[in-house]
Amino acid sequence: MAPPSTCLVIFPSLSTYPSTNASESEFDHSDSVSALTNSISALTVDVPIANAPKPKRRQIKPFRFVDLPGELRLKIYGYHFTTTGEVLDLETDNYKRIHKPLCLLRTCRQVYSEASYLFYSTHTFRIFPIYGKFFRTKKPLLARMKPGPRACLTTLQLRLGPGWNRPPRGWVVNDALGLKDCINVRRLKVFVECDPSNDAFKGFRAEDGFYEGFSQELLRAVLDEMPWCEIAEFDANPSVKKSGAMMTGLLEVACNKGRRLAWGPEKGWDDGVEKEEDFFSTISIEVFRGWTLLNFSRRHITHLYSKAY
């Protein structure tokens, strides 16, 4: 019997037929990546996707501040300048405390005219400086200001006491000080820190009546430069008496110039006669330019006495 014959079957190669699938080189990944990114960004809330479509910004309409009534604008200006302080002088922190709020004046001409007048007319400006390195300067704050701002001032302060043994040379009234430009000043505040005629200053003062005469001449010169000033307001530290040589001379100068007298809140004076205080009711030790360093009441003295014994 003959062996069965072998049948050879030959299959065609895969390369013989054209492939219906695209190769890796022909495949475009951009569409699939974009679709995948959009689907992920739609599900993601907190984490932003780099290629995610950005939401449109909502345009905020600017607030028309100038359209407000003038009374409201002035009230807002007053709140803006509350951190500048009541009395302005040459100090080291003026840039932080005063210069930054004044940047508001650069907004426009209308804001400048309104805010600048409110700022200069509602603050008290000290004529001669008393702080640190500015104490002996020859160019006080008023001399550094322009005539326009000086014309808006309504209140000035003359603080007497610092330098009672040797007043600075810059404390002089002249044309460079600019008092003639302060045409709207109606009130001059005179604050007396100390009275060198007190016996506590004996042995330290230059001579009897020196600083009292200097203060009177300084007040007289200031009032002569501003004849339109109507009110002279006097105030002092607790140790200063109205019946002392310092206050007696200053009050006489103000009365001779025809100014109306007023009294500040610190001392609590009035038009009546000053009440004589008990010796132990208030004891003040005043040194170094007349600044009050220690003030003891009767209760403090009793406490110290009991502690010592």
Predicted confidence (pLDDT) per residue in 34-86, tens digit: 665 565 555 555 555 566 677 778 888 888 888 999 999 999 999 999 989 89
Q: How confident is the model at residue 141 (pLDDT cuts 50, 70, 90)?
A: very high
Give the Cα separation of 112 and 102 in Å (integer).
10
* Mean pLDDT of the residues in the chain: 80
Residue 23: predicted pLDDT: 54
Give the amino acid at 220.
R
Task: Give me the pLDDT at residue 43, please.
Answer: 56
Percent of the chain with pLDDT strictly greater than 90: 51
CB neighbours of residue 166 within 10 Å? 11
Distance CA 49, CA 125 (A): 59
Residue given tokens 């599900």 in the structure block: 43
Q: Which two tokens stand for residue 304?
A: 């110290």
Residue 297: the pLDDT is 38
SS3 of residue 25 by DSSP:
coil
pLDDT at 136: 92
Q: Is the pLDDT of residue 203 over 70?
A: yes
Per the CB < 8 A criterion, the answer to whether 185 and 228 are in contact is yes
Bigger pLDDT: 116 vs 206: 116
Q: Which of 39-53, 153-167, 176-190, 251-265 is least confident?
A: 39-53
Q: pTM, whole model, 2 decimals?
A: 0.70
Residue 184 has pLDDT above 60, yes or no: yes
Amino acid at 306: S
> Cα 190 vs. chain centroid, distance in angstroms?
22
Per the DSSP assignment, residues forming a β-bridge with 232 are: 188, 261
Pick from 258, 253, 277, 257: which is nearest to 267 by CA? 277
Residue 106: other Cβ atoms inside 10 A? 8
pLDDT at residue 5 is higher than 60: no
pLDDT at 159: 96
Separation of alpha carbons 283 and 192, rounded Å: 17
Average pLDDT of the segment spanning 241-268? 93
